[in-house]
Amino acid sequence: MLKAILATGNSDKIIEIAAILRDVELLPRPSHLGDVDEAGDTLEDNARLKAIAVVEATGTLTIADDTGLEVDFLGGLPGVRTSRFAGENATYDDNIKKILAELEGIEVPRRTARFRTVAIACFPNGTEILTQGVLHGSIALAASGYGGFGYDPVFIPDETPGRTLAELSFEDKNSISHRGLAFRALAQRLKDY
Amino acid sequence: MLKAILATGNSDKIIEIAAILRDVELLPRPSHLGDVDEAGDTLEDNARLKAIAVVEATGTLTIADDTGLEVDFLGGLPGVRTSRFAGENATYDDNIKKILAELEGIEVPRRTARFRTVAIACFPNGTEILTQGVLHGSIALAASGYGGFGYDPVFIPDETPGRTLAELSFEDKNSISHRGLAFRALAQRLKDY
């Protein structure tokens, strides 16, 4: 089985990616490598920064992702600042409160948004495989549901009218989500490679 | 495939357990369930407390573990206080420094210790399966290695003289470790059940 380091320390992401990438043996990111400053201007740059730091230190195939929420009314924000929208050490709740506040009074048809995940696999020889997954939907008027993580309680996918991502089962979320799409595409490309 | 919630938010544990329990589809612990106070007097009690909180809230088969490091010279400490040995919010480094300080000047033959993992699977109908894994070894004179997590850099398994758990590959660690033994036994019992 293909082995790859998963360059994330976010336990919510790890458990989703492990469920999606069942044909890859995921190895942990070595703990002595410090956090990577996500200083890139794009999701692609940030995913690459995270993966390259690990592949260069270890010489082992490394997988990473970066995910952004793009809200049309906010001109595509929070985008690369998705996890830090309410500040550097923002919790999921802080970010949800901020996005609901920013869209206060905005009606449903103008709350369109999308989740975008860029997944990357970087080989020690410099080869890189990059895939993307996009989930279209809108920002709910209030948080609902306990599944998933991050902004899931306020994101209503177009495929599931009236239900947020946090109200879907783990399997249903992964079957339609940006992360599911990006990592299933990555798995296929790795298989073909 | 059997589905079970994994009742831990520790990303280091998640990635090890996902690698060991490849025949179980691991679901995330719902994020709205608060942390469980590990108030038990034994590893068994703590593993059970963690699992039961989740199975009662969700009605879904739940897997949990608790792991302790037992140092003979310290009368079996830190034991149930393993993750909090240097204080409530202790980091891995804090705990390593404390254990090395407690054993300062103690010679190798008196530094014997063991890692013990209790793994538990709790079904909604009240059935529970409990397994245990033990790894015998000793506390190193200084930290060494970057793999694994927790006390791995100061634990030398009897099977790998001169090398700490943190100096083994991910696969080699899992093949001999307390957590590997406990969860492979749990997987077998779940299969038989």
User: How far apart are alpha carbons B10 and B18 in whole angstroms?
Assistant: 12
> Looking at the complex, does the CB of residue A152 fall below 8 Å from at least one CB of chain B?
no
pLDDT confidence band for A33 (50 / 70 / 90): confident
User: Left (φ > 0), alpha (ψ -120 to 50) or beta: where does B87 sit?
Assistant: left
Q: How many CB atoms lie within 10 A of CB B10?
A: 14
User: How far apart are alpha carbons B144 and B108 in whole angstroms?
Assistant: 16
Strand order in the sheet with B62-71: B24-27, B2-6, B62-71, B112-122, B128-139, B155-157
Q: What is the CATH number for A69?
A: 3.90.950.10
Binding-face residues of A in 108-147 toward B, CB within 8 A: 146-147
Helix, strand or coil for residue B178? helix
> Looking at the complex, does the CB of residue A149 fall below 8 Å from at least one CB of chain B?
yes
Above 90 in pLDDT, residue B158? yes
Q: Which residues on A lie below 8 Å from B22 (Cβ)?
A: 22
Is A39 buried (19+), middle (13-18) or exposed (0-12) by CB count in 10 A? exposed
CA distance B159 to chain A (A): 22
What pLDDT score was predicted for residue B30?
A: 86
Over residues A63-119, the pLDDT tens digits come to: 999 999 999 999 999 999 999 999 999 999 999 999 999 999 999 999 999 999 999
Please, what is the average pLDDT of chain B?
95
Mutation for B interface: A3, A6, A11, most B CBs within 10 A:
A11
User: How far apart are alpha carbons B36 and B53 in whole angstroms?
Assistant: 7
My answer on whether omega of the bond before A78 falls inside 30° of 0, hence cis, is: yes
> Looking at the complex, does the CB of residue A59 fall below 8 Å from at least one CB of chain B?
no
Over residues A115-163, the pLDDT tens digits come to: 999 999 999 999 999 999 999 999 999 999 999 999 999 999 999 999 9
CA distance A113 to chain B (A): 23
User: How far apart are alpha carbons B10 and A104 in whole angstroms?
Assistant: 35
Report residue B24 as tokens: 């179980």
For residue A95, give its domain range: 2-192
What pLDDT score was predicted for residue A111?
A: 98
Contact residues for A34 (Cβ-Cβ < 8 A; gap 6+): none
Per the CB < 8 A criterion, the answer to whether B78 and B68 are in contact is yes
Mutation for B interface: A15, A22, A26, A58, most B CBs within 10 A:
A15
Contact B27 A16 (CB under 8 A): no
Q: Choosing from A23, A65, A66, A192, which is the catalytic residue?
A: A66
Above 90 in pLDDT, residue B1? no
Report residue A146 as tokens: 């306990």
Catalytic site residue A66? yes
What pLDDT score was predicted for residue B33?
A: 85
Report the sign of the C-alpha dihedral through residues B47, B50, B54, B57, in that order: positive
Distance of CA B26 to the CA centre of its chain: 17
Mean pLDDT for the stretch of residues B84-109: 96
Q: Which residues on B lie below 8 Å from A9 (Cβ)?
A: 11
Mean pLDDT for the stretch of residues A27-50: 89
> Looking at the complex, does the CB of residue A18 fall below 8 Å from at least one CB of chain B?
yes
> Looking at the complex, does the CB of residue B15 fall below 8 Å from at least one CB of chain A?
yes
Report residue B104 as tokens: 């300062």
Counting the structural domains of chain A, the total is 1
User: How far apart are alpha carbons B2 and A84 in whole angstroms?
Assistant: 36
A13 versus A37: the higher-pLDDT residue is: A13
pTM value > 0.95? no
A33 versus B161: the higher-pLDDT residue is: B161
Above 90 in pLDDT, residue A6? yes
Question: Residues B161-176, buried b or exposed e (16+ Cβ, 10 A)?
Answer: eeebbbbbebebbbeb
Contact B14 A10 (CB under 8 A): no
Q: Choosing from B45, B66, B72, B94, which is the catalytic residue?
A: B66
Contact residues for A88 (Cβ-Cβ < 8 A; gap 6+): none
Report residue B176 as tokens: 């001999």
What pLDDT score was predicted for residue B193?
A: 85
pLDDT confidence band for B124 (50 / 70 / 90): very high
What pLDDT score was predicted for residue A9?
A: 85
Over residues A42-53, the pLDDT tens digits come to: 999 999 999 999
CA distance A170 to chain B (A): 7
What pLDDT score was predicted for residue A64?
A: 97
